């Protein structure tokens, strides 16, 4: 693995499992020192930090709590000296028909999938200089929601696109880029390939399989690297042709 990120410090939200854990491993493999948040699985977080090594820092924080998220970012910057790369990965998937979907779940979707991206970007800015990278994990459902019950989730990921485009204008003069990586179906415990939706999703895709967390992490590593310096305000699909 090339050390494209040697000397860089990365902060990943929701990094203890699934796509987040793959991102932590990939950024570390490319030379970055990584801090990541976890919410409920201390054992998994500690195991990941130990397996990655290299000063990897696991911090407990609920991203829906602005104070807790800001403090985690500040703590990582104090411990590691700076933040060069912010990956907003934490998210939730709450599904249900509009007639029975609660306002509480609607608000929770926004509180986890949208607001923390703004909070984290704002908190990271004092610790981030020229060449900084902010990367948000969005979803192909911002473009296409092919089944009922996903309106709130699709809305949250579409909102993330508008936020990213707006922030790109604010951050560009500071030498900081911000982009979305929009996965399609990925084989994680949130959306297992062998789950009830697997076959129906594959029928909608050009490449008829789930992606892997490592494939998403590879796209994130590119957007985090010096090679992507001219990419900002973009939403980069990695969805097996789900939206083709």
Residues with a known catalytic role? 153
CB 32 within 8 A of CB 85: yes
Token couple for 95:
């599904």
CB 77 within 8 A of CB 2: no
Interhelix angle for 18-29 vs 213-224, to 10°? 50
- CA–CA dist 105, 232 (Å, integer): 31
CB 159 within 8 A of CB 233: no
- CA–CA dist 170, 159 (Å, integer): 17
Pinpoint the alpha helices (H) of the chain.
18-29, 42-52, 66-80, 103-113, 115-124, 151-171, 198-202, 213-224
| Number of helices and strands in the chain (H, E) | 8, 7
Judge residue 228's burial from the number of C-beta atoms within 10 Å of its C-beta, 0-12 exposed, 13-18 middle, 19 or more buried.
middle
Q: Is the dihedral of CA 208, 200, 138, 60 positive or negative?
A: negative
CB 180 within 8 A of CB 234: yes
């Amino acid at each position: 693995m090339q050390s494209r990120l040697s000397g860089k410090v990365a902060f990943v939200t929701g990094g203890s499992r699934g796509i987040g854990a793959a991102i932590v491993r990939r950024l570390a493999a490319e030379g970055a020192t990584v801090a990541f948040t976890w919410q409920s699985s201390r054992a998994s977080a500690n195991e990941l930090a130990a397996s990655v090594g290299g000063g990897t820092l696991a911090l407990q924080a609920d991203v829906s709590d602005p104070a807790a998220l800001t403090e985690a970012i500040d703590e990582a910057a104090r411990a590691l000296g700076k933040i060069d790369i912010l990956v907003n990965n934490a998210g939730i998937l709450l599904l249900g028909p509009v007639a029975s979907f609660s306002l509480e779940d609607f608000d929770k979707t926004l509180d986890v999938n949208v607001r923390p991206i703004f909070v984290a970007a704002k908190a990271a800015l004092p610790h981030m200089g020229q060449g900084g990278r902010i990367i948000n994990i969005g979803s192909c459902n911002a473009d296409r929601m092919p089944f009922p019950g996903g309106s709130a989730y699709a809305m949250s990921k579409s909102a993330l696109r508008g936020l990213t485009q707006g922030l790109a204008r604010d951050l560009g003069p500071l030498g900081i880029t911000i982009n979305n990586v929009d996965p399609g179906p990925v084989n994680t415990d949130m959306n297992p390939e062998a789950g009830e939706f697997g076959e129906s999703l594959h029928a909608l895709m050009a490449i008829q399989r789930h992606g892997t967390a490592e494939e998403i992490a590879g796209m994130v590593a590119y957007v985090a690297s010096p090679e992507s310096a001219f990419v900002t305000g973009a939403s980069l699909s990695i969805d097996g042709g789900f939206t083709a």
